Structure 1
Amino acid sequence: MNIYCILLDWLTSAFKICTQTKDYITGIVSSENELKHLLESHKRASGTFYTVWSDDSQKKLKVTPRCLWQVEDYSEHIPLSVKRRVIYACQHGKNYKTQTTDDLHTEHEYTRRKMFHIQNSKKVDCPAKLYVRYVVRYDQFAVSKTCSRAKKQAAVKGVLESLKENTIITSEIIHVKIPLTEAHKNHNTSQNCHFSNNIHHMVRDKIQEYVSLGITSVPFLKKVLKTFVQKELSEMGSVLPHSEDPSYYSSSHVIQNYVHYALVSEKYSGFDQLLLEKKIDEWKLADPSAKFFFRKCTENDSDQTIPKFEVKTGDKGFPASEDSDLDDKDTQEMTLTQETFLFIHQNVQQQELLERYGDMVLLDATYRTTKYALPLFLVVVRTNVGYKPIAEFICENETTAAITEALNILKQWNQHWEPKYFMLDYSQQEYQALEYVFPNAQKYLCSFHREQAWKRWARQEVV
């Protein structure tokens, strides 16, 4: 049994107790901030998490408030109404998403994987629930403790009339009913249960904040988060976070996972795209002759003109076979490029190199050049002093449609560009894009990538 729940020393000073039983304790707080600190202290002391089971806030907005003289065990002889009620269920409560073999369609055969699961779910049908009621008090219609029923009815009538005229003065309190240790069933509520807790939302947000600043070092983040918990989170509530609680003191592996989630979530960050847009403006000022094309992700109303192109459904890409299904797929992709990210750059020096050495062109994509998983394409020519890039573009996905659009824009910038040969790696998307834009150019596969493709094909298992 949890010693904190017996002594109740986890209760905050702002919580005014109404009643207390073996299973529950009820009381009131004055503000949302006090409620936040109270629930935080309870979570640290009991080691339990709660999920929202019911919230009738939208329903309450559509109906006239009902006047009451008592909410649960709270009564001060003042008309009251509940504008919102939120019920939080224990994370080990009833599992509403279970699926049995009887729920599966009988017409389809299936095989169950023979895997040993230590625990299928955290749900063990715990009945404990935490109730939060947002109560509105109509203090100007207060009555005495020994008043008659008629006076109470007159007070209620006055409340309803004032609500219609919108002249009533109100105050708000929050009534809370908190389950104690005895209310929890079928699971442990001691300090040992901390080991299965998820990361705290404020710790997760702190990781997101540092990752957005470019800080991804796990050892550094671990030290910073420890200081954050001890100095800032410890002030919330009267109970300090347990030193072994992974929701506050996460392991390096958990921090690394959330760093990855933060990087992935920022892949299409509008903030970074705004910074890139400002950077392009700076580049244009430094080199007015350079050409840029930039389209933000999920933008429909771009001011830049995008060249149109047609896709011949009869042309077969790489490899040329009758069972290729790329025609319909690529045709559909062409209509989706207006929504995707695209960045293209070429300066005057690169245009001059393209005009002089543009007969033989190399096209290749590389990854892991930035924190985003976006392919960076380099268009390269061989000069008298080595290989030089004559254009660069970054697209959202390495698809035929995206590459075709970028190549068409480059072709529009260089009207006299008619390459004779293209060298590329073993990529169907690149091959088909070149077929659409430069159908007369001969395409060659890089020897290294060709041998690499052979080896991968030879190692494939025959099914």
Structure 2
Amino acid sequence: MSTTRSTLPATLPAWGLFLNDVHVKDGFVNGFLSEADIDKVLDLHGRACLTDYVKSHVDNFEKRHKNRGESSRLLWSYGTIPADGTPFIVISSQELQCQRGQPKKYHVKEEERSDHVYDKKPRTHLQKGRKEGCPATGCVKKLLKFPSHTIPVESKRSEKQRVINDLKEKLASKSVEGLPTYFVTLPMESVHNHKLIGATRRMNSDIRNKVQEFVSDNITNTKLIKRLLRKYVQRQYSSDVVKPHVTDRSYYPHERDITNCVHSIMSAGKYSHLDQLNLEKIVTDWIVSDTTKPIEERTKVYYRKSSTEFEGDALSSVEAVIGTIET
């Protein structure tokens, strides 16, 4: 059941308009999202807060659900996920923490008690980090809902149990399919306890892809790419509800970021991860570079790639890559 415009919270930010059944509590926005809108909302939220989040390891239960669907835990509500009369299964869960959140706890050995005090020179100098104990945290849970078994929220316990038993039987026989849905808990800008300027954000994947297009068109000048990116961002995201801020390093990268990105793209395209392709290129360059003789008298190299079609007759790795050399 979607939240109507008249019932939307007054403090709801612009990116929260994409959520269904949304409610705001203590500066945190909770709501449901479709699988098509989850990436867009997380991107808009990052633009608004001008900060990145440290993502925990995803607790994924999807494999267990596929292998043992009948034993998956069916729920009507879970934690902050409200009951709406539709049973669901939690597929995965991921915690988000502001990059300026709580610092890591280092293990400090207790000083040995002694009657004498000696000055000890520290072996390492721990620099001050950027952690400021920011309380902004979030959570993204992937659910598998079953709208075909929806009942009124005020139904009795016996009715809910009957629906659960029927759904378990259909899951065991794989005669019912669920609808992937996301439930998110995201902090608003007011929850953060530090300045939101976006100077420490990572380069957006869309911007990196655009830089890769420029490099493929032989455009590698840093200042030129920076100007082209600025025009692209202003044109591409002009109609979004949350526009990228000029201080957002994710969409307006520094010259150093662009230089590093161009270098990594050119380095990745220079060499192949497959050794056979590298060797083939070397052999080809070797033959072409031998210009002291006519082409019919040049160095001839017998080269054959490794084949896995006939494992019994396949050559060894050395024999398959390097054949015989005729001069």
> Given the two structures, how large is their TM-score scaled by the length of structure 2?
0.73
Structure 1 partner of 2:63: 61
Supply the AA of the counterpart residue of 2:256. H
Q: Which has the higher contact order (CA 8 A, sep 6+)?
A: 2
Residues 1:177 and 2:185 aligned together: yes
Q: Which secondary structure does the structure 2 equivalent of 1:258 belong to?
A: helix
Structure 1 partner of 2:173: 165
CA gap of 1:140–1:301, structure 2 versus 1, over 3 A, is farther
Equivalent of 2:15 in 11, 22, 26: 11
CA separation in 1, counterparts of 2:73 and 2:12? 34
Matches within 5 A, 1:4-153: 7-11=11-15, 13-31=17-35, 33-57=36-60, 59-62=61-64, 64-71=71-78, 72-96=80-104, 99=106, 102=109, 112=123, 120-153=128-161
Deviation of 1:152 after TM superposition, in Å, equals 0.6
Contact 2:13 2:188 in 1 (8 A): no
Identity %: 22
Q: Which secondary structure does the structure 1 equivalent of 2:250 belong to?
A: coil
Gaps (5+ residues) in structure 1? 104-108, 308-411, 415-463
Q: Which secondary structure does the structure 1 equivalent of 2:253 belong to?
A: coil
Contact 2:102 2:133 in 1 (8 A): yes
User: What's the Cα RMSD here?
Assistant: 3.8
CA gap of 1:129–1:413, structure 2 versus 1, over 3 A, is same
Q: Which secondary structure does the structure 2 equivalent of 1:67 belong to?
A: coil
Residues 1:303 and 2:320 aligned together: yes
Residues 1:154 and 2:154 aligned together: no
CA gap of 1:295–1:100, structure 2 versus 1, over 3 A, is farther
Equivalent of 2:200 in 196, 202, 207: 196
Contact 1:229 1:248 in 2 (8 A): yes
Equivalent of 1:221 in 215, 221, 225: 225
Structure 1 partner of 2:313: none
CA separation in 2, counterparts of 1:178 and 1:55? 17
Equivalent of 1:250 in 248, 253, 269: 253
> Given the two structures, how large is their TM-score scaled by the length of structure 1?
0.53
Deviation of 1:276 after TM superposition, in Å, equals 3.9
CA gap of 1:28–1:241, structure 2 versus 1, over 3 A, is same
Residues 1:205 and 2:213 aligned together: no
Gaps (5+ residues) in structure 2? 1-8, 66-70, 111-119, 306-315
